[in-house]
Amino acid sequence: MERHLTEHAFAKLNLSLDVLARRPDGYHNMETVMQSVSLWDGVDITVSNGTGRTVRADTDKANLPKGERNLAGKAARIFLAYSGINDVTVTVYITKRIPDQAGMAGGSSDAAAVIRGLDRLLETRLSEEELLDLCLRVGSDVPFCLRGGTALARGRGEALTDLPPLPECGILTVKPEFSVSTPALFAELDRRGPVNSTNTEALLRALRAAPPWEGFTRGVWPLGNVFTSALDPVQRGCVEGVQRALLDSGAVSVNMTGTGSAVFGVYPTPADAARPDLTALGETFAVTPVKKLSRN
């Protein structure tokens, strides 16, 4: 018997991002405010009878890993093992729209969509705590991607606190041609020693000082990303150039997301973010905020 569904795996942006101390387990404690946006990958999941546990995962991009080397395949294997489900074949096919190596959690969101989808298809009815734990076993951004919306994430990303939804606005995301090595940026931060950054603290103070998000689309909210300072001079110059171009085009707030290289600008309305004149900056995506996802 074969069952099938399609999940939307939404991209995320970091409105703020701070890296705190390195942990004994080798990871870093983080503080970040994350936001889901309306750019999504299509994740097709099929479950059928099989022998043992078989996981197949593929995408429409030839350069991306397949099978359990893909985070979506890894997520499926972890889910089946935890649930004790045998004699099943899980096939995942991903239609990619979220750019690779952009800091927009494309792979993490695909993995979260698989965990969310398998819970529905196999009727396992796991608790949210169990699902979030499975997500963390796959990757640090995956727990947020399971729930989406607007949230503060601490620790490795597993300690999530919902925040008031972002108001209606437009967001233009630009992916420059270059990509960034995440391990290299973490190594650079480690080389420098503790970073006294308060991007997230400042954003939370601003959020608590007024009605939720009042003034956000007037550019009075302190966005920031500690990784911007860890880029090499050429990469940093490119990111800052894109940010200037976004501000010159009417964006009221700008930031780099994740470890880059995608940069985004916030505009007062969705129509304002439709800027075909900026395509020379890189691959562009005009998006809107997405609220917290439902399990139904």
Catalytic residue flag (residue 141): yes
| 170 touches 246 (CB < 8 A) | no
Residue 158 DSSP one-character state: T
* Peptide bond before residue 127 is cis, with ω within 30 degrees of 0: no
Q: Which of 12, 18, 41, 175 is catalytic?
A: 12
Using alpha carbons, select from 106, 102, 281, 254 the residue that is nearest to residue 180. Answer: 102
12 in catalytic set: yes
Options 18, 41, 110, 141, the catalytic residue: 141
Half-sphere exposure of 233 (CA within 13 A, CB side): 0
The Cα–Cα gap between 51 and 41 comes to 29
- Total Cβ atoms within 10 A of residue 232: 12
Alpha helices in the chain (DSSP H): 71-83, 106-121, 128-138, 142-147, 182-192, 199-208, 233-248
Residues marked as catalytic = 12, 141
